[in-house]
Chain A
Amino acid sequence: ELKVEQNPLFLSMQEGKNYTIYCNYSTTSDRLYWYRQDPGKSLESLFVLLSNGAVKQEGRLMASLDTKARLSTLHITAAVHDLSATYFCAGPYYDKVIFGPGTSLSVIP
């Protein structure tokens, strides 16, 4: 079965800094999803990456997918406090979608 790992699990970063969250998955997949969850809220879709080499950007967040390496990255540029949340990557496995454990991001002034 597909296993999805994220690194780091907890991240505290200063405003204005850059950082990358890594998502590794165990079996071949041609799709990868990123979601955001604010404390006490539901999950919100950020990106759908549909092919090897796919790159998507929205504001200060950029996601990429390398299916050969089974790796997706979520890069944060010039972090701001509003980006504080938990970020999940997820991949399909037959009819299931398997979520990673999440990366809890805290952006501090």
Chain B
Amino acid sequence: GAGVSQSPRYKVTKRGQDVALRCDPISGHVSLYWYRQALGQGPEFLTYFNYEAQQDKSGLPNDRFSAERPEGSISTLTIQRTEQRDSAMYRCASSLDAQYEQYFGPGTRLTVT
């Protein structure tokens, strides 16, 4: 079946603009995670959803970052008033449940100019 998909794959935006990154998890996967990955580093946890409930958002860097998963499926990570330091690869992952392995999407490469 289809894996985790993310869109857009690449996003270039000007500083100060808002961006919305979309994640479409594997059908039936309860758990959904957002990560940020800098070049040469491991994924950094941002937030976690169990169905539609955002169980942990402690990794979101500041209040410009928010995420939602209103129907327990597709999730959106929104960054308001983007700054250059927000430039990174943003990855989404889903799993059947929290204890199982995660399936990662291809990522969205965000560049803020």
Contact = CB atoms under 8 A, between A and B. Distances in A.
A, B co-complexed: yes
A97 B59 CA distance: 11
Interface residues of A, number: 22
Interface stretch (A13-21, A40-48, A58-66, A70-78): A40-48
B110 to A, nearest CB: 15
Interface extent on B, as a size class?
20 to 34
A102 B41 contact: yes
Interface string B79-108: 000000000000101000011111111110
B104 to A, nearest CB: 4
Contact of B42 (A42, A44, A45, A102): A102
A94 B41 CA distance: 22
A97 B104 contact: no
B18 interface: no
Nearest to A43: B104
A92 B40 CA distance: 21
Given A42-B105, A99-B44, A101-B42, 11 more contacts: A42-B106, A43-B43, A43-B91, A50-B99, A90-B42, A95-B48, A95-B50, A95-B98, A99-B45, A101-B41, A102-B41
Q: Which 10 A-B pairs rank lowest in CB-CB distance, beginning with the nearest?
A: A99-B42, A45-B101, A95-B56, A43-B104, A42-B104, A95-B55, A96-B45, A95-B48, A48-B101, A99-B43
